[in-house]
Amino acid sequence: MAGTALASLPIGFLSLSVLLLVGHSRGFGVAGVVVAGLTCGTGVGIAVQGRLIDRFGLTTVLLSAVAVQVGAAGCLVVSVWASAPVGLMLLCAVPTGCGEPQVGAPMRALWTVLLPAEERDAAAAISSLLLQLSAVVGPLLLAGLLPFAGRGGSVLAAVGMFAIGTFLLVSSRPARRWHPPVATGRRRVGALESAGVRVVTAIGAVQGGIGGLVQVAAAAAGATSGDEDIALVLYAALATGSLVGTLWYGARTWRGAVDRRMVIQLGLASLALVAGSGSMVVVDRGGFAVALLTVSLVAVGLATGPVGVTAYAVVERVAPEGSMVAAFTTLTAAGLTSMALGTAAAGVVCDQAGPAVTLLLASGVGLIGITVLAVSGAGLRLDPSSHRGAR
Q: Where in the chain is the domain with CATH 1.20.1250.20?
A: 2-177, 190-388
- What is the per-residue pLDDT for 387? 38
Percent of the chain at pLDDT exceeding 70: 82
Is pLDDT of 299 > 80?
yes
> What pLDDT, in 10s, does the model give residues 239-271?
888 888 888 887 777 777 888 889 999 999 999
Give the closest residue to 204 by CA, choosing from 309, 83, 69.
309
If you average pLDDT over every residue of the chain, what do you get?
Answer: 81
Q: Say if residues 154 and 13 touch (Cβ distance below 8 Å).
A: yes
Architecture per CATH, domain 190-388, reads as Up-down Bundle (1.20)
What value, to the nearest 5°, has the Cα angle with vertex 167 and ends 169 and 161? 100
> What pLDDT, in 10s, does the model give residues 158-202?
999 999 999 998 888 777 777 766 555 555 556 777 888 889 999
Most confident region among 2-6, 117-121, 298-302 by mean pLDDT: 298-302
**Phi first, then psi: what are they for 388, rounded to 5°?**
-85, 140
With b meaning 16 or more CB within 10 Å and e meaning fewer, what string describes 369-388?
bbebbeeebeebeeeeeebb
Interatomic CA distance for residues 140 and 154, integer angstroms? 12
Is pLDDT of 385 > 50?
no
Q: Which helix (H) or strand (E) holds 312?
A: helix 287-318
> What pLDDT, in 10s, does the model give residues 214-225?
877 887 787 776
What is the sign, positive or negative, of the torsion defined by CA atoms of 113, 115, 121, 126? negative
> What pLDDT, in 10s, does the model give residues 21-79?
988 888 877 887 888 788 888 888 887 888 888 788 888 899 999 999 999 999 999 99
> What pLDDT, in 10s, does the model give residues 98-132?
999 988 777 766 766 666 666 666 666 676 667 66
Q: Say if residues 87 and 35 touch (Cβ distance below 8 Å).
A: no
Interatomic CA distance for residues 107 and 332, integer angstroms? 13
> What pLDDT, in 10s, does the model give residues 329-381?
888 888 878 877 887 788 788 888 888 899 999 999 999 999 999 888 776 76
Which amino acid is residue 314, in one-letter code?
Answer: V
**Fold that domain 2-177 belongs to in CATH:** Growth Hormone; Chain: A; (1.20.1250)
